[in-house]
Amino acid sequence: MNSRIIFFDTTLRDGEQSPGVALNLKQKIEIAKALVELGIDVIEAGFPVTSPGDFQAVQALAKELKGVTVAALARANPKDIDTAWEALKGAESPRIHTFIATSDIHMKYKLKKTKEEVLELAKNAVSYAKSLVPDVEFSAEDATRSDREFLAQVVLEVVRAGATTVNIPDTVGYTVPQEYHDLIKYLIEQLIKAGYEESLREGTLRISVHCHNDLGLAVANSISAVLAGATQIEGTINGIGERAGNAALEEIIMTLKTRADFFKSKLGYEPEVNINTTKIVPVSQLVSKYTGMVIQPNKAIVGANAFAHESGIHQHGVLCERSTYEIINPEDIGWTGSAIVLGKHSGRHAIAYKLESLGWHLSKEQIDRVFERYREEVKDILRQVEDAYLEGIVLDLLLENEYRYKLLSSQVISVLSGSLKPIAQVEIEDKREGRRVSVGLGVGPIDAAYKAVAGALGYTFEREKDKKPLKLVDFHIDALSGGTSAEGICAVILEDEAGRRSAGLGRDGDIVIASLKALIKALNRREAYLEKGEKLKASL
């Protein structure tokens, strides 16, 4: 079998059929160009007959893209095929992709045609497409629920009619890996018996697979097909597509690359994967951005957590030797590196690593003290601990909690309805400039209280003239216990114009007071770092 694996991307066709996704032409062109940079062999640009917009998109991509085959989808009828060819005419390397269903359920209920009629339509469609363009792909829709012997008959006839690629789709995600492997192997055997072994070996004839993910097996089924001899894989970036989506190409690519040893032992050769893997993450994020489909954090390869480590045991292992818990180098696929995430399961090694990366070269004794404070203050409270919280703990310890501001008193009046706004008054002790009193109005009691603090200390959250601007990049409140008298905890992260962040936590039975305590803590840490932070780092 030919060792070269052809990657056929249908993000712009099948992927765009995801509910709620609608890409404009500019976005399609940008994604397509990124796919070319990735090294994709075939880009299915659309289904031209379905709408003028789809036709125009295929036509534009056909003219724009170089160094890649551009495919257009068409049902097994002359009108669809003519429309596809009209859209593809300007392509450097055009492919007409025609299809018809071959399963009993589709033929009976959807097509309302006999096997003989379907076979004739398939042959005629391929023959007609071949008269227009040398590269023709045929897909037997719902192949995995089709009668094997009939499917084999269709495959042989479309190859005789001129198909250069025959796709065996698992259209509804029904099959399982071993069953799919056996089906692909059976069809290849039938082609070999019919005299097409040399064509398969040379790659002038290819068996392709297109798997859907209804049972979560799209990638596994695609891989099993490669082991059976398939040499073209169809899928989408991030696995998007109608219903549960398609096979995720990035997962298949990295499986073939990472476990090349296994495939060589089974196939007798190493599958040739001509993909620039460093482009995987950028194209994944581009597709996510334009489709509006958020990548789940635990998504393989491209999810935010794919190379993130929170467990102390895992963090220690990765810091000693990356390969202990990472089978792929994150930089090989476009990530900047492994991520050490601080959370409730993190240990001393991760704390020490984070502190070093932030420029805090502490002694073992100091790290132990930071770790103990970390466990007491944030470990079981915050799901993920930002660097600003860790730096805040260091400042607390090194400065022994000697800070500039102290909240002396506060009063907040909420308003049930009407034209009045909630109002807050705060009294703050500033060790340099004495006591400050300020009043703030807001949309709610916490907003009013924060504006009162900002007014007292010369800050602004709204970019007022002659005041120091701050951005509230994170604010959330949680209950530490149940019931109406539960203690609340507020977490706050502030960012100044220079991008410098400071964080604070506040606890109290009154959530407004908890919020004020968190804000004052964050402001104190900011002031302390600006005054003494760099000197403290240099002295360590």
3-state secondary structure 186-241: HHHHHHHHCCCHHHHHHCCCEEEEEEECCCCCHHHHHHHHHHHCCCEEEEEHHHCC
pLDDT value of residue 388? 93
Distances (CA, A) of 487 to 424, 444, 517, 522: 21, 20, 13, 20
Residues 6+ apart with CB under 8 A from 116: none
Ranges of the chain with pLDDT below 50:
none
DSSP string, 319-338: HH-GGGT-SS-GGGGT--S-
Distances (CA, A) of 178 to 206, 210, 222, 246, 264: 20, 16, 11, 19, 19
Q: Which residue type is seen at 256? A: L
Residue 472: Cβ within 10 Å count: 13
Q: Which residue type is seen at 279? A: K
Tokens, residue 105: 């359920």
pLDDT digits (tens, 9 = 90+) for 317-371: 999 999 999 999 999 999 998 888 888 889 999 999 999 999 999 999 999 999 9
Residues 6+ apart with CB under 8 A from 277: 253, 254, 257, 332, 333, 334
Contact 112/100 with Cβ under 8 angstroms?
no
pLDDT value of residue 379? 64
Q: What distance in Å separates the CA atoms of residue 323 and residue 130, rounded to the nearest whole number?
A: 50
Q: What distance in Å separates the CA atoms of residue 299 and residue 315, rounded to the nearest whole number?
A: 20
Q: What distance in Å separates the CA atoms of residue 428 and residue 407, rounded to the nearest whole number?
A: 5
Beta-sheet strand order (sheet of 405-413): 405-413, 423-430, 434-441
Residues 6+ apart with CB under 8 A from 401: none
DSSP string, 114-172: -HHHHHHHHHHHHHHHHHH-S-EEEEEETGGGS-HHHHHHHHHHHHHHT-SEEEEEETT
Contact 38/280 with Cβ under 8 angstroms?
yes
Q: What are the backbone dihedrals phi and psi of residue 161, each rounded to the nearest 5 degrees, phi first?
A: -80, -10
Size (the chain), residues: 540
Q: Among 3.40.640.10, 3.40.50.150, 3.40.630.30, 3.20.20.70, name the CATH number for the domain at 6-291.
A: 3.20.20.70
**Domain ranges (residues) in the chain:** 6-291, 308-385, 405-539
Q: What distance in Å separates the CA atoms of residue 456 and residue 435, rounded to the nearest whole number?
A: 9
Q: What distance in Å separates the CA atoms of residue 306 and residue 339, rounded to the nearest whole number?
A: 9
Q: Among 3.40.1280.10, 3.40.50.300, 3.30.160.270, 3.40.640.10, name the CATH number for the domain at 405-539.
A: 3.30.160.270
Distances (CA, A) of 43 to 50, 218, 332, 357, 496: 18, 19, 23, 42, 45
Distances (CA, A) of 370 to 6, 333, 366, 397: 53, 35, 6, 7
Q: Write down the pTM of the prediction.
A: 0.87
pLDDT value of residue 380? 67
Mapping DSSP onto H, E and C, the string for 170-194 reads ECCCCCCHHHHHHHHHHHHHHHHHC
Contact 206/188 with Cβ under 8 angstroms?
no
DSSP label of 299: -
Q: What distance in Å separates the CA atoms of residue 105 and residue 107, rounded to the nearest whole number?
A: 6
